Structure 1
């Protein structure tokens, strides 16, 4: 039959059907189709993000080499201090950034809890030097050497401190030991505690300081 949307009309001797006034053509609603497409696109984008590899953590030793000490701290704080190397680097970076109390607390943890307590004493010695506490610096360098006799840079710093205090015998012994031990000093310790100088330059410095001591003896 004919839908109620149409009515029978007569005009000029002809009968025909016409749509009733006010009856609009109902079109199919495709909004559900668009919603499905949009949802599928969101799922595809999220899946792509999940598949993308995570950015690698920054190389904190390279940041240190570039003297970006604040960035070193930020990277380590994000990573955590479980690794002994990171704990040493954190303490040293705190000292470099002037966060002396944080550096001292970090060093105390290194001394009490880590496998590298000598590094804790070495950094504390540097903090003492910075504060003008030469006796404290000497004591911590002695402790560092006692814990790790192969720690060339601790011997070097103790030798320099001894020369400043006119303790020529101690200065000569420590500088000679440092020059010999630097040949095999760990690369990372050189990077962290060598003041940016390469191995050869540090050996030359020890020999120069030793020559000065011997000339004044």
Structure 2
């Protein structure tokens, strides 16, 4: 749940920091791309990561998503220009999409049907909570510590989540191979979704 909260918060927490980011990095032309790049990348990655998780198991992709998300957050905080920030936000969105896809699938893997609805509702509530808390937290963090901490705040929470998954989540081995991946289908999905979302 910590991992999901991080990825969900990142959709809303950055918005209130954007005026300060634009003022410091001088990139008004790329204002909307800081948020759009994250949303496009995460949306594209959800079905792809979901299918890969079905083939090769959830734990590797959940861990990769969390570690990549934390690393991309650190890179976002180190950005010295708007193009850099947009690039790192795209990477962050890719790993955020991996989190969205695998976290909900893990519920079906680890819990009996009698508990799944309650847990899915609880995990879904994270999105509602993030839409309320995100803008307020983003403004407070930006005013108190600077806009870079909007990204750095992900690091300690993300590392705790990585450790919890490593210790508590079982790994189920898979017999799938790279030949089972539908590369043309993934390419068509990306080619179809990107124009629709950017238009």
Specify which structure has the higher proportion of strand. Answer: 1
TM-score (norm 1): 0.23
**TM-score, normalised by the number of residues in structure 2:** 0.24
Pick 1 or 2: higher relative contact order, CA cutoff 8 A, min separation 6.
2
